[in-house]
C-alpha cells in the first residue's frame, strides 16, 4: 500500500476532490489537508510522516511544507501537480485533470 497526501490551501476544493476520487483506488490510502491557517483540515507533521508521497496543487504549498515542517518533510517525496485554484469541489474538469496528473504515481 502507498499513502498519498493531497494538499492545497484551504482543503476545500482541490485536495478533498482528489481524496474523494482516489479513496477507493486499490493499493493506496489517501488523505487531504491544507496549508492555510483557515484550512478545513490543516496539514500536520503526522500527516507528512504518514505519507509516502505528497502531491501538492501549487509550488507555494510545497514551499510551505518544506519550510514549516523541515524535519518531517525531509524524508518524504513532494511533487507539484500545477493545478490552479479555479475549480469547485468535484468539478468535472478538475476530476479529469487530477486523474491525468495522478495516474503516473499509481503505476
Give the CATH architecture of domain 2-106. Answer: 3-Layer(aba) Sandwich (3.40)
Give the whole-angstrom CA distance, residue 59 versus residue 40: 20
With a pLDDT cut of 90, the percent of the chain lying above it is: 94
As a whole number of angstroms, the longest Cα–Cα distance in the chain is 37
With bands split at pLDDT 50, 70 and 90, how would you rate the model's confidence at 43?
A: very high
Give mean pLDDT, residues 85-97: 98
Give mean pLDDT, residues 41-57: 97
With bands split at pLDDT 50, 70 and 90, how would you rate the model's confidence at 107?
A: confident
Task: Write down the domain spans for the chain.
Answer: 2-106
Contacts made by residues 60-66, CB under 8 angstroms, sequence distance 24+: 60/9, 60/35, 61/7, 61/8, 61/9, 61/35, 64/35, 65/7, 65/35
Residue 75: its pLDDT value, please?
A: 87
Amino acid at each position: 500500500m502507498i499513502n498519498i497526501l493531497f494538499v492545497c490551501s484551504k482543503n476545500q476544493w482541490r485536495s478533498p476532490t482528489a481524496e474523494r476520487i482516489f479513496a477507493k483506488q486499490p493499493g493506496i490510502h489517501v488523505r487531504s489537508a491544507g496549508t492555510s491557517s483557515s484550512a478545513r483540515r490543516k496539514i500536520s507533521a503526522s500527516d507528512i510522516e504518514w505519507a509516502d508521497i505528497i502531491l501538492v496543487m501549487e509550488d507555494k504549498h510545497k514551499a510551505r511544507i518544506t519550510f514549516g515542517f523541515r524535519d518531517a518533510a525531509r524524508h518524504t517525496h513532494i511533487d507539484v501537480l500545477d493545478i490552479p485554484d479555479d475549480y469547485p469541489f468535484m468539478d468535472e474538469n478538475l476530476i479529469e485533470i487530477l486523474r491525468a496528473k495522478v495516474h503516473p504515481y499509481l503505476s
